[in-house]
Amino acid sequence: MNYVAELLAVGTELLLGDIANTDAQFISQGLSQLGITVHYHTVVGDNPQRLKEAVAVARTRANIIITTGGLGPTYDDLTKQTLAEAFGKTLLLHEPTAQRLRDYFMRNNKREVPANSMQQAMLPEGCTVLQNDWGTAPGCAFVAEGIHVVMLPGPPRECASMFTNCAIPYLRALSDATIFSRTIRIFGLGEPAVENKLKGVMETMENPTLAPYAKEGEVLLRVTARAGNQADAERMVEPVLHMVADTLGDAVYGFDVPSLEAVVLDLLKKNGVTLGAAESCTGGLFAKRFTDLPGASAVFQGSVVAYSAAIKEKVLGVPKDVLEEKGTVSEETARYLAEGARRVLGTDLAVGITGVAGPDSDEKDNPVGLVYVALAGETGTYVRRIYMGKDRNWIRTLATLHGYDMVRRYLTGKDIETVEELR
């Protein structure tokens, strides 16, 4: 059976923009790995009538409804009551949950459970109780009129843990098929370019499927197969991985890897190579993202944040005449930054990044979004000239990723300077 899910997030704070709906993002990612399609995300305030209306719509277009939020002890936590009424279920006291609440309040508060907190133990008749080991409000799941309803708490830590440990096993049991997915990570091609190269294949594939997901500055493809067992599903996915790699070439930087910088860290370690950087427009972001990785200290020596022309000249040795004639944002300056960082930091490789992050053009009237990224190594210095649009954060992020990509290509013997436009 093909399952289609709708996510119903309950909470006025979501509508007001006070918090982001990270629960929906996490759950959608997990459902895609189960082969369950999500067609709609709906957010409803703490209002039972509007929640009833949202449920009435959801049940006409989905056979799995997952709610988040509204399971706590306060007066506006009405998700269970509303969903139970909508599907003709009576709420009954679940004694094991009630006892957990009694134990919790006696252990932590030295008192009996308040009446409003005890309502968390009232659960729909015949439901599967999803025990909450990360909070007090349990989740639950039931099926009615051919629709599976799963209710989870709203706090992100509780929701993510319960979805992973409770909801996924419940949902996986709905099908006797095995779902297996692998991811393909791509840098150097934008989502439209990837889809253009693979559109014909993606439109005709049914099992396995191939779906694109835009990430920040890159693209992720997920290959998902459904089969009777794990081994068969894995065999179905393998040729798709090879086909995508052959089609997209060097833009594919890994399968089932967490990030481009993680791939670079692994390559540096395997090759016994050290890395440093000189950063202007990225302001230390290259170093920050890399040192977020455990074990980065084994290969990363540091980064010089050379924001001013004076630091570029005095610390990294960019000649004054180059800065005056070519400007701080130029191919020549990028080269000197990378070479200066390699010399000052004593590394095998060094990245140099300079560009115009905005909001205004620079002293040479270079446009916002123009960036030069250089890589200096034993075999020479390589430079990319990239234009990245006008959003400051996007420019800084993409410049950083280009730096990692150049290191990756250097260490794997690929073309370092040429890259297709991200479009």
Euclidean distance between CA atoms 370 and 372, whole angstroms: 7
pLDDT of residue 191: 87
**pLDDT per residue as tens digits for the range 393-405:** 999 999 999 999 9
Percentage of the chain with pLDDT > 70?
99
Nearest-10 crossing angle of helices 392-411, 260-271: 30
Please, what is the angle between helix 48-58 and helix 79-86, to 10°?
Answer: 50
* pLDDT score of 77 more than 90: no
- Please tell me the predicted confidence (pLDDT) of residue 389: 82
Do 56 and 86 touch, CB atoms closer than 8 A? Answer: yes
Closest CA to 67 of 88, 91, 48: 48
Mean pLDDT on 412-422: 76
pLDDT at 259: 97
Tokens of 281: 């427009």
Least confident of 25-29, 40-44, 335-339, 350-354: 25-29
Assign 69 a pLDDT band (cuts: 50, 70, 90): very high
- pLDDT at residue 362, as a whole number: 85
Token couple for 293: 């990785």
Q: Mind listing the pLDDT tens digit for each residue in 11-46?
A: 999 999 999 999 999 999 888 878 788 999 999 999
The residues facing 350 across adjacent strands are 276, 376
Distances in Å between the alpha carbon of 374 and those of 45, 192, 368? Answer: 50, 27, 19
- Boundaries of every domain in the chain: 4-172, 179-255, 260-411
**Residues pairing with 180 in the sheet:** 225
Higher pLDDT, 242 or 108: 242
Is residue 193 scored above 50 in pLDDT? yes
> For the whole model, what pTM was predicted?
0.79
| Nearest to 27, CA basis, from 136, 147, 158, 131 | 158
Kindly tell me the number of DSSP H helices and DSSP E strands found in the chain.
16, 17
Q: What is the pLDDT of residue 173?
A: 87
CA–CA gap between residue 85 and residue 124 (Å, rounded): 9
Report the candidate in 73, 71, 153 with the shortest Cα–Cα distance to residue 116: 73
Homologous superfamily of domain range 4-172: MoaB/Mog-like domain (3.40.980.10)
CATH 3.30.70.2860 correct for 179-255: yes
pLDDT in the model for residue 422: 43
**CA distances (Å), 360 to each of 229, 285, 302, 322, 370, in order?**
57, 20, 29, 22, 12
Is residue 360's pLDDT more than 90? no
In sequence order, what are the beta bridge partners of 179?
226
**Which helix H or strand E contains 46, and what residues bound it?**
none
Rounded to 5°, the CA angle 244-248-250 comes to 120
Contact criterion met (CB below 8 Å) for 218 and 186: yes
> Model confidence over 84-133: pLDDT tens digits?
999 999 999 999 999 999 998 989 888 898 988 899 999 999 999 999 99
What percentage of residues in the chain have a pLDDT greater than 90?
Answer: 79
One-letter amino acid at 335 equals R
Q: Which CATH class is domain 260-411?
A: alpha beta
Are domains 179-255 and 260-411 of this chain identical in fold?
Answer: no
Return the structure tokens found at 103: 């134990």
- Least confident piece of the model among 159-168, 217-226, 412-421: 412-421
Query: Quick one: pLDDT at residue 369?
Result: 93
Q: Which pLDDT value is given to residue 226?
A: 87
Phi, psi of 271 (to 5 degrees): -95, 0
Say whether the peptide bond before residue 208 is cis (omega within 30 degrees of 0): yes
Quick: pLDDT tens for 128-160: 999 999 999 999 999 999 999 999 999 999 999
pLDDT of residue 420: 55
- Residue 188 and residue 416: Cα distance in Å, rounded? 11
- Please give the angle made by the CA atoms of 211, 217 and 220, to the nearest 5 degrees: 20
State residue 423's pLDDT score. 35
pLDDT digits (tens, 9 = 90+) for 260-274: 999 999 999 999 999
